[in-house]
Amino acid sequence: MIKLFASDMDGTLLNENHVISDRTAAAIKKLQETTDIEFIIATGRSFKSASVLTQAQDIYCRMINLNGASIHEKDGTLTDSNPLLTDTVLSVIQHLDTLAIDYAVSTPNNYYVADYEGFIKRIAHFMNVSHEEVLAAADGTDEVTNAQLLAHYGDVKPITEMELTKENPALKLLLFSSNADLLSQVRQHLSNFSDLDVTSSAADNIEVTHINAQKGLAVEAYAKSQGYTLDEVATIGDSLNDRSMLQMAKHSYAMDNAPDHIKAMAQNIAPANTIDGVAIILEQLIAEYAK
């Protein structure tokens, strides 16, 4: 019987509007209230960004954030962290600055961007607000959207202001480009670093974390700490950054909207996120639990 259910967010738990639907929220709450199955989130998003979306539906659960670079209890308490090595980050950035590629670095409280204007244009859909609203937030002329920007990303600063310290380590490096050949070139360069895990959440990005910061490793470690066997763990996702948790769980689900190579990693296929696929799977688990 399933005792732990770990879900990705973007393309999985979130619908096409980048929010948790009412049906999905209701299914999560019913799972929490009527079964002994624990629901957790494993996402590439920071805790700030993910919790904005969960709290909007009054959902509270343990979170694996930034692909495992930080782990939080349901009250937001940080319980574990797997930061990148500073020397590695600086070396990678030095190489990136020679290329025409956009990138950003996440730290516990800040989000440092190489191309500030490009960042503003890119995140409107991610926050589920208009481009104009994000621009207003960035200019500080709209208090509501400025709060949204801070809630999702913390203090957004240009990369030139980044100072990495023990208290402010790099947790995740993100790269963005519509040039597939350039991304391939960067992946090849990153393969020279044995301390990095290189993955992605979309065709136009690369996500880089410490080799120990992987969703699957984090889910497995938590399961073992709670006395769950891997046969009692279910995972669900849609992207390459979900690969480790799809491959480690006996009960794994790839979303129907996932690429074929991701579907091949999972034991089962869930309905698409556009039709509340996670809710459908949770409703099935709840029904089975009640038998």
Question: Do residues 64 and 6 lie in contact, with contact meaning Cβ atoms separated by under 8 Å?
Answer: yes
182, 210, 238: which is the final residue of a domain? 210
Alpha carbon 10 to its chain's center: 7
Task: Report the CATH number that the domain containing residue 96 is assigned in CATH.
Answer: 3.30.1240.10
pLDDT of residue 291: 74
Same domain, 143 and 165: yes
CA-CA-CA-CA dihedral for 227, 44, 78, 281, to nearest 10: -40
pLDDT of residue 109: 84
pLDDT of residue 140: 43
Same domain, 99 and 184: yes
What is the tens place of the pLDDT at every residue in 161-191?
A: 999 999 999 999 999 998 999 999 999 999 9
**What pLDDT band is residue 100 in, cutting at 50, 70 and 90?**
confident
**What pLDDT band is residue 142 in, cutting at 50, 70 and 90?**
very low
**What pLDDT band is residue 115 in, cutting at 50, 70 and 90?**
confident
The stretch 87-101 carries a mean pLDDT of 95
Name beta bridge partners: 254.
237, 269
Is residue 98 over pLDDT 80?
yes
CA distances from 101 to 126, 181, 259 (A): 20, 11, 24
**What pLDDT band is residue 129 in, cutting at 50, 70 and 90?**
very low
Same domain, 187 and 276: no
Question: Do residues 217 and 68 lie in contact, with contact meaning Cβ atoms separated by under 8 Å?
Answer: yes
Is residue 83 over pLDDT 80?
yes
Same domain, 70 and 93: no
d(CA 55, CA 238): 23
The stretch 12-25 carries a mean pLDDT of 96
Match 């738990």 to its residue by tokens: 13
Give the chain's domain count. Answer: 2
CA distances from 85 to 168, 176, 178 (A): 12, 21, 27
Same domain, 90 and 77: no
pLDDT of residue 290: 86
Is residue 200 over pLDDT 80?
yes
Amino acid at 5: F
Pairing of strands 268-270, 251-255: parallel
Same domain, 217 and 206: no
Q: Nearest-CA neighbor of 103 among 28, 160, 35, 22?
A: 160
Same domain, 92 and 173: yes
160, 192, 210: which is the final residue of a domain? 210
Is residue 131 over pLDDT 70?
no
Average per-residue pLDDT for the chain: 90
d(CA 277, CA 236): 10
Residue 90 belongs to domain spanning: 86-210
Match 């732990």 to its residue by tokens: 4
Is residue 145 over pLDDT 80?
no
d(CA 220, CA 164): 29
Which runs of consecutive H residues, i.e. helices, occur in 97-230? 116-122, 124-127, 131-139, 143-153, 180-190, 215-225
Same domain, 188 and 259: no
d(CA 156, CA 136): 14
Same domain, 186 and 94: yes
**What pLDDT band is residue 144 in, cutting at 50, 70 and 90?**
very low
Same domain, 62 and 110: no
Structure tokens at 257: 């909207």
210, 238, 264: which is the final residue of a domain? 210
pLDDT of residue 78: 96
Pairing of strands 233-237, 251-255: parallel
Same domain, 150 and 135: yes
Task: Report the CATH number that the domain containing residue 25 is assigned in CATH.
Answer: 3.40.50.1000
What is the tens place of the pLDDT at every residue in 206-262?
A: 999 999 999 999 999 999 999 999 999 999 999 999 999 999 999 999 999 999 999
Same domain, 224 and 239: yes
The rounded percent of the chain whose pLDDT value lies above 70 is 88
